[in-house]
Amino acid sequence: MRIHQWLLLSLLALSASGDAIADLKVERVRWGFGGKPMCEAFNLLTVEMRNDGDEPFVGVLSLEQGYGMRRIGAPEVQPCSIAPYGSRVVQFAPYLDRSSSDWRLTWRGGKHRLEDVRWEGNERKAVVEFSEPQKIAEAGGTSGEFPRFPEAEFPGNPSVTEALAAVVLDHTPAWEAARAQSFLTWLKRGGRLHVFRRADGTWPKFRGALEVLNDSELTAIEMGMVQRHDKRLIDLSKNEAASLKVAPEIHGGRSQGRYHAFRLMGLITRSDVNWGIVYLVAFAYVVLLGPGLYLFCRRKRDYRIAVVSLLGLVLLFSWLFARIGRRGFGESDRIYSASVAKPVSPGVYDVQQWSHVFVTEGNDYQFQYPSQHQLFRAEGPESVPGAIKNGVDGGLDMDLPLYSSRNLLSRQLMNGPVIEVSVNGSDKSSGLSIKIDGLGNIEGVLSRRGDRYYEMSAVADAWEFFGNGVDENW
């Protein structure tokens, strides 16, 4: 179902519920996992809504990014229904960069401005302890050393977990299959899990998709790390907790690369107009319509000839301008994309994609990927007519005018070829050699060590170390 149709049905259901407007209020707001969002990433935003009225609320919550008094980008929408005097937790997944500070939540009959997001310049990913529903203490976790995150609010969409570095756990989370699979995907993608003994001294017993974590010898799963600590979490010392809190720093500057990529893709769809001829025809038009027509009419002294000559000139040059400057001659709808794919498991990749969309016909367009979990952002400093529905079976519904373009940013889990990489030598020497199977033609390979990338050259059927490294923002 198209998103605008889904919105229409939601609004009709709301109208059918009566003319009274529910007394809706924002009870709680949390950015990310540790209370702070991550810059240049899709972030988890958890909002708890409360209905203090006598009427049920059935409608749509809309998260909008503001700039002064106006809205920019496309809003993210989520369906919501709350019984009288009830509450509900709703989660969004907006993309935040350095300019993203002003956010507001709107619904039928109300709105709420969220507290401004402030960037300190040294943000780090979150290290949190999952808390059980019955543990409602506000300060710290069982050890009192880690920020607590309600396990019931862990997102079912693994694409929105980039800001989470590590999890501390001393019990078995009470999750349904989808949420457990999302956590396992986060772990495989490079997360760190610290498992402690339960309060009674026994080890947590994991079930379902997480049953693999019961292996006491398990230290790594795909790109993730699992570490068992032979003690209860409450017995953890401050020094030991401090060592577990170490998280990678979030590097800035990626917005420059994003804007550069969009600019290069936009140049591809720029019309190839011969501006020299356009300027020459425009100059001839001004000369002939002004002094040329005046001198001609002075000689003829007949207003009928003057009127016919004026109409003829206008029609002739209108045709010329349309001919030499029009768009659409040989053009068609286009989407140009650049992607970064990180392996999660064999044949499954976490893909972030930068896309430039060009259309030749004004219409309402829907963008989706063959993936259950999708996140979108419509780039631009102006309001975008459309709506984003992130998450399961989500997508972006957007109105694009005739011969217009739009930059999109998306992230999703996608299936792909199984890539096998064999490494010979050491990345600390010039003898590094890798062999890649499963990708077909490869135009170039960079190896990363720390914050530097190293170009490699093709030698026979392998790639070998070549040249000097360049920094991360290259």
The pTM is what?
0.78
CA angle 380, 382, 388 (to 5 degrees): 70
- Reported as a pLDDT band with limits 50, 70 and 90, residue 426 is low
Q: Please report the pLDDT score of residue 473 as a whole number.
A: 44
Beta-bridge partner residues of 67: 70
Quick one: which H or E segment has residue 12?
helix 3-16
CA distance 149 to 131: 6
pLDDT above 90: residue 1: no
* pLDDT tens-digit map of 266-309: 666 666 667 788 888 888 888 888 888 878 877 777 778 888 88
* pLDDT tens-digit map of 230-243: 999 888 888 888 88
pLDDT above 60: residue 368: yes
Q: Between these two residues, 263 and 361, which has the higher pLDDT value?
A: 361
* pLDDT tens-digit map of 19-72: 456 688 999 999 999 888 888 889 999 999 999 989 899 999 999 988 777 888
* pLDDT tens-digit map of 93-143: 999 887 767 899 999 889 999 887 776 655 788 999 998 876 544 433 466
pLDDT above 80: residue 450: no
* pLDDT tens-digit map of 150-186: 999 999 999 899 899 999 999 999 999 999 999 999 9
CA distance 173 to 187: 15
Residues 6+ apart with CB under 8 A from 292: none
pLDDT above 50: residue 18: no
Residues 6+ apart with CB under 8 A from 102: 65, 66, 67, 113, 116
Nearest to 396 by CA among 420, 418, 380, 419: 380
Overall residue count recorded for the chain in this entry: 474
Do the Cβ atoms of 430 and 462 come closer than 8 Å? no
pLDDT above 80: residue 147: yes
CA distance 73 to 377: 8
Do the Cβ atoms of 434 and 463 come closer than 8 Å? yes
Residues 6+ apart with CB under 8 A from 391: 93, 156, 157, 373, 374, 375
Query: What average pLDDT is seen over the chain?
Result: 81
Share of the chain above pLDDT 70, in %: 81
How many CB atoms sit inside 10 A of residue 203's CB? 16
CA distance 43 to 369: 20
pLDDT above 70: residue 83: yes
